[in-house]
Amino acid sequence: MEGKSKRQAVLVGCNYYNTPNELHGCINDVLAMRDTLVKRFEFEPANIEVLTDAPGSSLPLPTGANIKLALARMVDAAKAGDVLYFHYSGHGTRIPSKKRGHPFRQEEAIVPCDFNLITDLDFRQLVNRLPSGASLTILSDSCHSGGLIDKEKEQIGPSSVISKSEAPKNYTYTPKTIPFESILQHLSSLTKINTTDIGTHLLESFGEEASLRFRLPLPDPELSTPLRADNGVLLSGCQPDETSADMRPNEVSAKAYGAFSNAVQMVLKENPGMISNREVVILARKLLQSQGFQQHPCLYCSDENANATFLWQKHLLRTIMAISMANLTKSTFVGAGIDPPHCSKTLRSSIT
DSSP string, 269-328: HH--S--BHHHHHHHHHHHHHHTT-----EEES-HHHHSSBTT--HHHHHHHHHHHHTT-
Its domain, for residue 341, covers 313-352
Report the CATH number at residue 242: 3.40.50.12660
Indicate whether 298 and 321 sit together in one domain. Answer: no
Q: What is the pLDDT of residue 251?
A: 83
Please give the residue that has the higher pLDDT: either 10 or 334.
Answer: 10
Q: What is the mean pLDDT of residues 24-41?
A: 97
Look at residue 2 and tell me if it is in a domain: no
Please report whether residue 247 resides in a domain.
yes
At 59 the pLDDT is: 87
Catalytically active residues, by annotation: 91, 143
Amino acid 351: pLDDT = 36
pLDDT confidence band for 332 (50 / 70 / 90): very low
Q: Categorize the per-residue pLDDT at 349 as very low, low, confident or very high, splitting at 50, 70 and 90.
A: very low
Spatial separation of the C-alpha atoms in residues 349 and 346, rounded to whole Å: 5
What is the tens place of the pLDDT at every residue in 123-169?
A: 999 999 999 999 999 999 999 998 899 889 999 988 766 766 677 77
> What's this model's pTM, rounded to 2 decimal places?
0.86
Instruction: Tell me the C-alpha distance between 122 and 210, whole Å.
Output: 10
14 part of a folded domain? yes
Integer Rg of the chain from CA: 20
Average pLDDT over residues 5-17: 96
The tens digit of pLDDT for each residue in 204-243 reads 999 999 999 998 666 555 555 655 568 899 999 999 999 9
Residue 190 has pLDDT above 70, yes or no: yes
CA distance 259 to 141: 8
Q: How many domains does one find in the chain?
A: 2
CA separation (Å) from 46 to 22, 58, 203, 213? 30, 16, 34, 32
Tell me: do 84 and 190 sit in the same domain: yes
Q: Are residues 327 and 206 in the same domain?
A: no
| Angle at alpha carbon of residue 180, lines to 177 and 185, rounded to 5° | 115
